[in-house]
Amino acid sequence: MGTFHGITSLVLLALAMLVGLIGVALNAPSAAVAYILVLVVAFLVICAAYCAKCPCRTDACGHLLPGLVASYLPARRQTHYHTADMALTALALAAMVFYPQYWLWQHPALLALFWLLTAGAGLQIVRRVCPSCQNPHCPMKKGTTGIRSLKADRPAD
Protein backbone atom coordinates (compact mmCIF):
# COMPACT_ATOMS: atom_id res chain seq x y z
CA MET A 1 0.00 0.00 0.00
CA GLY A 2 1.39 3.40 -0.94
CA THR A 3 2.05 6.26 1.42
CA PHE A 4 1.28 9.96 1.01
CA HIS A 5 4.95 10.89 0.65
CA GLY A 6 5.73 7.86 -1.50
CA ILE A 7 2.98 8.68 -3.97
CA THR A 8 3.42 12.47 -4.04
CA SER A 9 7.20 12.13 -4.52
CA LEU A 10 6.53 9.87 -7.49
CA VAL A 11 4.09 12.47 -8.86
CA LEU A 12 6.78 15.16 -8.49
CA LEU A 13 9.23 12.95 -10.38
CA ALA A 14 6.66 12.30 -13.10
CA LEU A 15 6.05 16.07 -13.40
CA ALA A 16 9.82 16.63 -13.70
CA MET A 17 9.98 14.07 -16.50
CA LEU A 18 7.01 15.77 -18.19
CA VAL A 19 8.84 19.11 -18.03
CA GLY A 20 11.90 17.37 -19.49
CA LEU A 21 9.77 15.90 -22.25
CA ILE A 22 8.33 19.33 -23.10
CA GLY A 23 11.84 20.79 -23.21
CA VAL A 24 12.97 18.09 -25.63
CA ALA A 25 9.80 18.28 -27.76
CA LEU A 26 10.15 22.05 -28.23
CA ASN A 27 13.42 21.48 -30.08
CA ALA A 28 13.41 17.93 -31.38
CA PRO A 29 10.08 16.05 -31.59
CA SER A 30 11.73 12.79 -32.65
CA ALA A 31 14.09 12.97 -29.66
CA ALA A 32 11.01 13.46 -27.46
CA VAL A 33 9.54 10.21 -28.76
CA ALA A 34 12.85 8.52 -27.97
CA TYR A 35 12.72 10.02 -24.46
CA ILE A 36 9.31 8.43 -23.87
CA LEU A 37 10.82 5.07 -24.81
CA VAL A 38 13.79 5.73 -22.52
CA LEU A 39 11.43 6.51 -19.64
CA VAL A 40 9.35 3.37 -20.13
CA VAL A 41 12.39 1.09 -20.51
CA ALA A 42 14.23 2.73 -17.59
CA PHE A 43 11.19 2.36 -15.34
CA LEU A 44 10.88 -1.33 -16.21
CA VAL A 45 14.60 -1.86 -15.66
CA ILE A 46 14.33 -0.33 -12.17
CA CYS A 47 11.33 -2.51 -11.38
CA ALA A 48 13.17 -5.64 -12.56
CA ALA A 49 16.63 -4.88 -11.18
CA TYR A 50 15.63 -3.31 -7.87
CA CYS A 51 11.97 -3.60 -6.93
CA ALA A 52 11.66 -7.29 -7.89
CA LYS A 53 13.97 -8.09 -4.96
CA CYS A 54 12.09 -5.90 -2.51
CA PRO A 55 9.85 -7.62 0.07
CA CYS A 56 7.56 -4.55 0.09
CA ARG A 57 6.57 -4.86 -3.54
CA THR A 58 3.40 -6.90 -3.09
CA ASP A 59 1.70 -5.01 -0.29
CA ALA A 60 3.89 -2.31 1.24
CA CYS A 61 5.53 -0.30 -1.54
CA GLY A 62 5.53 3.34 -0.44
CA HIS A 63 5.51 4.49 -4.07
CA LEU A 64 2.73 2.05 -5.00
CA LEU A 65 3.30 1.87 -8.78
CA PRO A 66 6.81 0.32 -8.95
CA GLY A 67 5.84 -2.30 -6.41
CA LEU A 68 2.69 -3.09 -8.36
CA VAL A 69 4.62 -3.49 -11.62
CA ALA A 70 7.36 -5.52 -9.90
CA SER A 71 4.78 -7.88 -8.44
CA TYR A 72 3.93 -8.98 -12.00
CA LEU A 73 7.58 -9.61 -12.91
CA PRO A 74 9.28 -12.96 -12.28
CA ALA A 75 10.03 -13.29 -8.57
CA ARG A 76 13.66 -12.88 -7.52
CA ARG A 77 15.35 -14.03 -4.35
CA GLN A 78 15.23 -11.36 -1.67
CA THR A 79 18.94 -11.16 -1.07
CA HIS A 80 21.22 -8.15 -0.91
CA TYR A 81 21.59 -6.18 -4.13
CA HIS A 82 24.41 -7.24 -6.43
CA THR A 83 26.65 -4.86 -8.31
CA ALA A 84 24.72 -5.55 -11.52
CA ASP A 85 21.39 -4.66 -9.81
CA MET A 86 22.81 -1.39 -8.52
CA ALA A 87 24.54 -0.53 -11.79
CA LEU A 88 21.41 -1.15 -13.87
CA THR A 89 19.28 0.88 -11.46
CA ALA A 90 21.76 3.77 -11.42
CA LEU A 91 22.03 3.67 -15.22
CA ALA A 92 18.25 3.72 -15.63
CA LEU A 93 17.86 6.64 -13.20
CA ALA A 94 20.67 8.54 -14.92
CA ALA A 95 19.05 8.01 -18.33
CA MET A 96 15.72 9.36 -17.05
CA VAL A 97 17.29 12.46 -15.54
CA PHE A 98 20.13 13.31 -17.91
CA TYR A 99 18.60 12.52 -21.30
CA PRO A 100 16.69 15.83 -21.59
CA GLN A 101 19.45 18.05 -20.20
CA TYR A 102 20.91 19.12 -23.57
CA TRP A 103 17.55 20.49 -24.72
CA LEU A 104 16.55 21.87 -21.32
CA TRP A 105 19.65 24.09 -21.28
CA GLN A 106 18.04 26.00 -24.12
CA HIS A 107 15.01 26.76 -21.90
CA PRO A 108 16.31 28.02 -18.52
CA ALA A 109 12.85 28.22 -16.93
CA LEU A 110 12.09 24.61 -17.81
CA LEU A 111 15.57 23.56 -16.68
CA ALA A 112 15.04 25.22 -13.29
CA LEU A 113 11.59 23.68 -12.93
CA PHE A 114 12.92 20.24 -13.85
CA TRP A 115 15.60 20.35 -11.15
CA LEU A 116 13.28 21.92 -8.58
CA LEU A 117 10.78 19.08 -9.01
CA THR A 118 13.52 16.43 -9.06
CA ALA A 119 15.22 17.82 -5.96
CA GLY A 120 11.87 18.09 -4.16
CA ALA A 121 11.08 14.47 -4.94
CA GLY A 122 14.56 13.33 -3.90
CA LEU A 123 14.39 15.19 -0.61
CA GLN A 124 10.95 13.85 0.13
CA ILE A 125 12.07 10.29 -0.61
CA VAL A 126 15.22 10.47 1.51
CA ARG A 127 13.58 12.28 4.44
CA ARG A 128 10.06 10.86 4.52
CA VAL A 129 9.87 7.65 2.51
CA CYS A 130 13.16 5.83 3.19
CA PRO A 131 12.96 5.96 7.02
CA SER A 132 9.68 4.03 7.05
CA CYS A 133 10.47 1.69 4.14
CA GLN A 134 10.84 -1.95 5.11
CA ASN A 135 13.19 -3.17 2.39
CA PRO A 136 16.03 -4.54 4.57
CA HIS A 137 18.47 -4.78 1.66
CA CYS A 138 18.14 -1.22 0.35
CA PRO A 139 21.40 0.73 0.81
CA MET A 140 19.28 3.81 1.62
CA LYS A 141 18.31 2.11 4.88
CA LYS A 142 21.82 2.47 6.21
CA GLY A 143 21.95 5.19 8.79
CA THR A 144 18.19 5.44 9.19
CA THR A 145 16.46 2.70 11.10
CA GLY A 146 18.87 -0.13 10.45
CA ILE A 147 18.06 -3.50 9.05
CA ARG A 148 14.71 -4.90 9.97
CA SER A 149 12.61 -7.70 8.63
CA LEU A 150 9.08 -7.21 7.42
CA LYS A 151 7.68 -9.72 9.88
CA ALA A 152 9.43 -8.13 12.80
CA ASP A 153 7.85 -4.77 11.97
CA ARG A 154 4.33 -6.03 11.53
CA PRO A 155 2.05 -5.65 14.53
CA ALA A 156 0.79 -8.90 15.97
CA ASP A 157 -2.70 -9.89 14.84
Residue 13 interacting with ligand SF4 (CB under 6 A): no
Candidate list 70, 92, 97, 104; residue touching ligand SF4; CB under 6 A: 70
Identified binder of ligand SF4 from the candidate list 16, 20, 43, 63, rule CB under 6 A? 63
| Contact residue for ligand SF4 among 5, 89, 135, 136 (CB under 6 A) | 135
- Per DSSP, the residues of 70-128 read HTTSPP----PPPHHHHHHHHHHHHHHHHTTHHHHTT-HHHHHHHHHHHHHHHHHIIII
CA distances to 28, 46, 68, 72, 83 from 143, in Å: 43, 23, 27, 31, 20
Judged by CB under 6 A, the stretch of 33-41, 57-65, 87-95, 112-120 that binds ligand SF4 is 57-65
Residue ranges that bind ligand SF4, judged by CB under 6 A: 50-51, 54, 56-57, 61-63, 66-67, 70, 133, 135
